[in-house]
Chains A and B, each alone.
Chain A
Amino acid sequence: MSGLFDLPSDLQHSYLGLVGLHLREALIPVAAGLLLALPVAQLCVRLRWLYAPVLGLTTVLYAIPSLAFFVVLIDYTGQTETTVMIPLAVYSLVVLVPAIVDGVRSVPQETLDAATGMGLGPVRRYFQVQLPIAAPAIVAGLRVASVSSISLVSVGMLIGNQGALGNMLYTGMTYGRPRLIWLSVISTAVLAIAVDALLVLVRRILTPWMPRGTRPRPAVDPAAADRLATDGPGPAATARKDAAR
């Protein structure tokens, strides 16, 4: 018995089954977060005064431990995947909202003027001009949110086996099986790296119009990077929080 990827039956999944579950529990919240963040960010772009409070709110939400979320949510959604995914979706906002807002704001005023002057209404302007030009910044946000989400899914093990690869870690610890612990940790890391690489690829495919060797705007724009580092929970803050969990 005991091939590298053989799992005890109480995990109820094969290794690949767990990987699939892990990806689903991690990425559906990011997708949901994106769907929520797009309109919120657009509101923040149109109503400038709204941005600071929204940013504050997402930060506060991000500061709530997932266990606390679970305790509240279990009454409504039970010990299910949904209970794990809702907090993850909420957490992704803290990265996605500023990423989209910065991306949309990075569209040059003259580009917008040209679009308006040529007769593109607000809706066309948003979908045909602002969103495509913001794509690199949005993908950059998605990378951080996805990696963070993949590492956070494991806490789902606390509410009865909803942690996917995290369950493997828990089982490994319970039964003293280092192989399962290592497999869980390394698999989670590999998943995070793979999803990140995939998103880089997506960005390349989406943005043939970017000068080669130029990185997405948040990374090039020192002002935006500074802002993220000081008054907003950017990638660095996220990483710190991940470590703390």
Chain B
Amino acid sequence: MITFGSRAGGSCQTRRAFGVLIRIDAVTKRYPDGTVAVDRLSLDIPDGAITVLVGPSGCGKTTTLRMINRMVEPSEGRILIDGVDSRQQPVNTLRRSMGYVIQNAGLFQHRTIVDNIATVPRLLGWNKGKARDRARELMERVGLDASLAERYPYQLSGGQQQRVGVARALAADPPVLLMDEPFSAVDPVVRKGLQDELLRIQDELGKTIVFVTHDIDEAVKLGTMVAVLRTGGRLAQYAPPAELLSDPADAFVEDFLGADRGIRRLSFFSSAGLDLLTGPVVPAGATAEEIAARDTGGSPRLLVTDPEGRPLGWAEPDALAAGPVDAARLLSYGRPFVAGRDSLRAALDCAVLSPTGWAVAVDDTGRVTGVVSQQAIGDAIRTAHAAGAKTEGATGAEPDGTAEPGTDGTAAKAAR
């Protein structure tokens, strides 16, 4: 299944028209007291991708999600699932065809982990053995140790419980997954792990995921498409995250994105286009003549590598020429980035962190492939922006925001 946006490297060339799995059609939710939670919302949720609903509290994002599985009934409008009105099938049949994950997981405290996960298969009439086999299979998929199978929820950490929640939602292999702030209640480190895991699972399974969060960073990281809702349940913008960051529709969206959207947008540009210099890179045993012969490309220092080609640190050319260097006296090289795989954001971050202002690029095995200055990264950013603007010029009329600034497919979000 081809993913909708840039996350798995889908570029403009490979993008195709997607079948809309869930169509929210002019839906309004008005409560008896007159409060309008969702106001004439229309949204086409693409098949096989993660669509994130994001917004401040009271923007109706959870209500919208709950209208999809009819835990909340719309006051007006309709919701089409694969072209069929969601009210045409029995409500519990509908719900069993959609995995549902909520904050704090909402596990059944009186059931073991396998039995929790086996809930929906059992409802669908699978026999106990088959349902439990399936549950164990899913535990592995979401990264839970098999020894936890017979434990009870209270014996698990919050992060593990949330993994169980995801496994439980996936148990009957539903085409749709509804996730309501699933990772908000866990600490940032665990949350990042869960987010990466979700992206990995999504790459493997290609579910249609509707994900609600109030965290714009999470939305940008996970979303193939991001719908920003404003208070009162109205749609402010619906676009791929890169477009959201480059072209916020209005002041509200811009404000919601926060101050550093320019930096964050760099996550969508690959570092593959960077001009890496190998001149300033010398092996530790280089002679004075070899050093003198180097074209340093403007770098005042040289990067010393070990015999395997791994970076050791920066040194003055004169000190190096004078004889063997003491590794402890080398200037730290900060943190390297993986050329091609990491984004320009990662490259810029490395350059900023490096005391010399130069970022070190390595390959997958950690060997130095070259160095690049902040200035060169700045040039690459401008080039990328220009290319993005050109692409936008070409396809800019498309409402779903196909105008992606990515210069190539390797600017994977995994780089962040």
Contact = CB atoms under 8 A, between A and B. Distances in A.
User: A and B from one assembly?
Assistant: yes
Interface of A: 108, 110-111, 113-121, 124, 129, 132-133, 135, 207-211
Contact of B102 (A114, A124, A208, A209): A114
Contacts of B107: 111, 114
Interface residues of B, number: 30
Nearest to A116: B71
Contacts of B96: 118-119
Contact of B152 (A113, A129, A209): A209
Report whether over half of chain B's contact residues are helix, strand or loop; otherwise say mixed: mixed
15 contacts: A114-B102, A114-B106, A114-B107, A114-B165, A117-B69, A117-B102, A118-B96, A118-B100, A118-B168, A119-B93, A120-B92, A120-B119, A121-B92, A208-B152, A209-B153
B111 A117 contact: no
A121 B92 CA distance: 7
Interface string B165-180: 1001000000000100
B71 A117 contact: yes
A116 B95 contact: yes
Contacts of A111: 106-109
Interface in B308-358: none
A120 B109 contact: no
B100 A110 contact: no
A108 B154 CA distance: 14
B58 to A, nearest CB: 19
Interface in B142-185: 152-154, 165, 168, 178
Contacts of A116: 71, 95
Contacts of A207: 110
Contacts of B154: 209-211
A235 B153 CA distance: 31
Contacts of B168: 118
Contact of A110 (B98, B102, B119): B102
A208 B111 CA distance: 9
Given A114-B105, A119-B123, 6 more contacts: A110-B106, A118-B95, A121-B92, A207-B110, A209-B152, A209-B154
B104 interface: yes
A207 B71 CA distance: 30
Nearest first, the 8 A-B pairs at minimum CB distance are: A114-B106, A117-B100, A119-B95, A119-B96, A110-B106, A119-B92, A209-B152, A132-B110
B103 interface: yes
B392 to A, nearest CB: 39
A120 B123 contact: yes
B53 interface: no
B244 interface: no
A117 B95 contact: yes
A129 B102 CA distance: 17
Nearest to A135: B110
B108 A110 contact: no
Contacts of A210: 154
A133 B123 contact: no
Contact of A133 (B71, B92, B94, B110): B110
B216 interface: no
B47 to A, nearest CB: 21
A104 to B, nearest CB: 13
A210 B168 CA distance: 21
Nearest to B155: A211
A110 B123 contact: no
Nearest to B122: A128
A115 B123 CA distance: 11
B120 A119 contact: yes
B104 A110 contact: yes
Which of B102, B109, B119 has the most chain A CB atoms inside 10 A of its CB? B109
Interface in B115-158: 119-120, 123, 152-154
A115 B108 contact: yes
Contact of B123 (A108, A118, A208): A118
Contacts of B92: 119-121
Contacts of A117: 69, 71, 95, 98, 100, 102, 178
Nearest to B69: A117
B355 to A, nearest CB: 49
Contacts of B103: 110
A132 B111 CA distance: 10
B108 A129 contact: yes
A132 B91 CA distance: 24
Given A119-B92, A119-B95, A211-B154, A114 B100 contact: yes
A133 B153 CA distance: 13
